[in-house]
Each structure stands twice: as structure tokens, then as C-alpha cells.
Structure 1
Amino acid sequence: MNSGLGHDEDETGNAVLREVWQLLRELRIMELLAEYHPRLAGTVPLGIQVEGSDLDIICEVQDPKRFIEAARYHFGQLEGFYAVTRTVRDMVRTKINFRTGGWPIELFGQPLATEKQNAWLHMQVERRVLKLLGPGFAENIRSLKSGGMKTEPAFAKLLKLEGDPYEEMLSLGRLNSEEFHAVCRRAQRYI
């Protein structure tokens, strides 16, 4: 089964990630939504989830109505099933939420390849930062998130990034390796 992660990732991870992949296998979610190229994104694959974190599954969706119909057919019986489509900054976005196995799940779709969606790009940058700055930094992120802060603002705060945290994290991902390391080293002095 394609895990929906990347070529350098797998389903082994920590105990929580293994539990999540077991749940996703039981739901057959990646298989049933395969035509939408689903990928698990967000805090769980990074190991920085906190109480109340959801499972974010991003999808490439060209036809929101058909996507909602497919999700309703497969998951509509699950607790709290809810679907909405909105246009934000000229992009149609579909969110489908439900709960199962003790986890809130959010399917997020837009007409963009999953590996080009901001959720995926943010996660790749965050993974690089966590790898470079280590467990202490991850614990500081979890602490901020436990206090109610969203993931990208927490990273931006600790990295001393100015401006819109979502845009700044994307910009960080476009830096060359030397520039990226310089930003992380500068932040490390304040942690």
C-alpha cells in the first residue's frame, strides 16, 4: 500500500504514528481515496501532536462534489461527518471532517497536486527544522501548541520569523541549505 508519506518516510515511526497507520489501514482510507492521491500531513507524522490534534489527510481534488460523494459513501456513517467547500484566494477548497478510533480526521482537498499543497510543504520544512534543532525544540513546539498556538505560528515564533507565519515557513523552505541552517542556528541561541 502507498502510505501517502514520501519516498524517504514510512509507517514505522513512533507508537502514535504506528497506531494512526493501523487506523488508516482499517478504514482503508488511502486505498478508497487513491484517485485523490491522499497523503497524511501535519503534526502526527512529525511527532509533535498534542491532545486534540487531528489527522490531516490532504488530497488532490478537481471535482469537489464527486470527492464529497465518495467520502460520504465510505465514511458518512462515522461520527460528526461534515463536508464544506469554499473558495479562498481564488482556490476551491473542500474540508471533510469526522471522528473514528479516538481521532478527529480532516480530509482537505484542492485542485493542486498534494506534494505542492502548503500543508505538505510546511511539513517538509518543519521536518528539516526538527531534524536540525532536535528534541528540545520539538518539546518547545508541543508546549506552544498545548497552549493553543497553531503549528506554523509556533515554529515562526521560535525561529524568530517576522510576518505571516504560514508564508514565512514556505519562504524558509525555499532557502538554500546555508541560509536555512543560519536561520535555525540564530533561533537556537534563544531557545
Structure 2
Amino acid sequence: MKKFDTIEYLSVGTPKQREAFRVLSHHKIIELLAQYRPVLAGTFPLDIAVPGSDLDVLCYWQEAGHFKQHVTNSFSGFENFTLREVTINNQHTIITNFFADGLEVEVFGQNIPVKQQMAYRHMIIEYKILSKKGDNFRQQVIALKQSGLKTEPAFAQLLGIEGNPYTALLEFNV
């Protein structure tokens, strides 16, 4: 979805979105990751961020070692920098976390084009649902998130989706 290809839309969004834009722009986070085709996903683009929500930056790497070196060189000076490698959905995944101006940033990299990654696909479906269901539904999602639920389980609960919310949501017809 073209809207999410850059972070410019955040600059005219809600106060939380404008703060996310300021942090990402001031620290050149998207710019530093440009070669990995970064896309901000998750709660900030959808305007459902709650205290403690992080800025999820999805990246597509083709060489794991180069990506690890690049994110380490670019972000290791930030507060609470960590880098870990895990397997998610049978995919080698490199995750970097750090804080910039009090906001946690998570750089999530896989050897899968960003628009095919689960987090991006979830965001697009959730965006369509929020667009269709309106602000009352958005507020219900936020309330569930504030009570401790993660985003996908909150959507699944409100929509009456059964089973694994992460996979079932991908099959939800909007």
C-alpha cells in the first residue's frame, strides 16, 4: 500500500505519529536503513500505539552478515542496543532494539521482501479493518492493548476470530 512506503504521512498525523516522525527523521533511522527498503509497520502507522509501543521498522536483507554489521555500526551507540537472531515462521530473522529519544525502535530484518513479511501483511489488513470499522473500533483495540493484549489478538477478539490470531487474521476478508 503506497501510503506506508515512506514515513511522510506521520508528519501530519496525530501527536504520537508526529513524535514518531520526529524521532525517525532526527536520527535518520529510515535513511540509514535505505538499502534494506525499510517500512515502518505496527501500531504507530495505524494510530493504535499505547505507552510502551515500539517503532517497528521492517527490513529486507539479502546477506545476513552485512545486515548485522550495518545495524550494529548504525545503531550500537543508542541506549539499550541489542541484536539477536531468531527463527520466526521458519525464517532467519535479525532483530535490533534500541531507544531513541525515549521511544523504543525495533529493526526487524528478514530475507523476505518487506511487503511479503507477516508484520506488513498484518498491518495492511488491520488498516483496512480500521478504515471500515471506524474510530469506536480503534478505541476498543487501544483499550484491549492497554489491558495487555498484543495487537493481533486484540483484533481477533473484537472480530470474533478463533484460532491463532496471527495466521487467522491473514485470512480475514475485509
Tell me, in whole angstroms, the C-alpha distance in 2 between the residues paired with 1:122 and 1:149.
16
The residue identity in structure 2 corresponding to 1:138 is R
Tell me, in whole angstroms, the C-alpha distance in 2 between the residues paired with 1:145 and 1:92.
28
Q: Call closer, same or farther: CA 1:62–1:84 in 2, change over 3 Å.
A: same
The residue identity in structure 1 corresponding to 2:5 is G
Deviations, residues 105-157 of structure 1 (Å, cap 9, x unaligned)? 10001011111111111011111111111111111111111111000000000
SS at match of 2:109: strand
The residue identity in structure 2 corresponding to 1:5 is F
TM-score (norm 2): 0.93
What corresponds to 2:70 in structure 1?
Answer: 70
1:157 aligns with 2:157: yes
Q: Call closer, same or farther: CA 1:106–1:42 in 2, change over 3 Å.
A: same
The residue identity in structure 2 corresponding to 1:149 is L
Tell me, in whole angstroms, the C-alpha distance in 2 between the residues paired with 1:139 and 1:110.
32
1:6 aligns with 2:21: no
SS at match of 2:56: strand
Q: Call closer, same or farther: CA 1:23–1:4 in 2, change over 3 Å.
A: farther
User: What pairs with 1:51-130 in structure 2 (closer than 5 Å)?
Assistant: 51-130=51-130
What corresponds to 1:47 in structure 2?
Answer: 47
Tell me, in whole angstroms, the C-alpha distance in 2 between the residues paired with 1:6 and 1:66.
23
User: Percent sequence identity over matched residues?
Assistant: 37
User: What pairs with 1:175-190 in structure 2 (closer than 5 Å)?
Assistant: 175=173, 180=174
Deviations, residues 75-109 of structure 1 (Å, cap 9, x unaligned)? 10111100011223431011100011110110001
Deviations, residues 31-65 of structure 1 (Å, cap 9, x unaligned)? 11111000000001111010100000000022222
What corresponds to 1:25 in structure 2?
Answer: 25
Larger Rg: 1
The runs of 5 or more residues in structure 2 that have no matched partner are: none
Tell me, in whole angstroms, the C-alpha distance in 1 between the residues paired with 2:64 and 2:102.
27
User: What pairs with 1:127-138 in structure 2 (closer than 5 Å)?
Assistant: 127-138=127-138
Tell me, in whole angstroms, the C-alpha distance in 1 between the residues paired with 2:5 and 2:34.
15
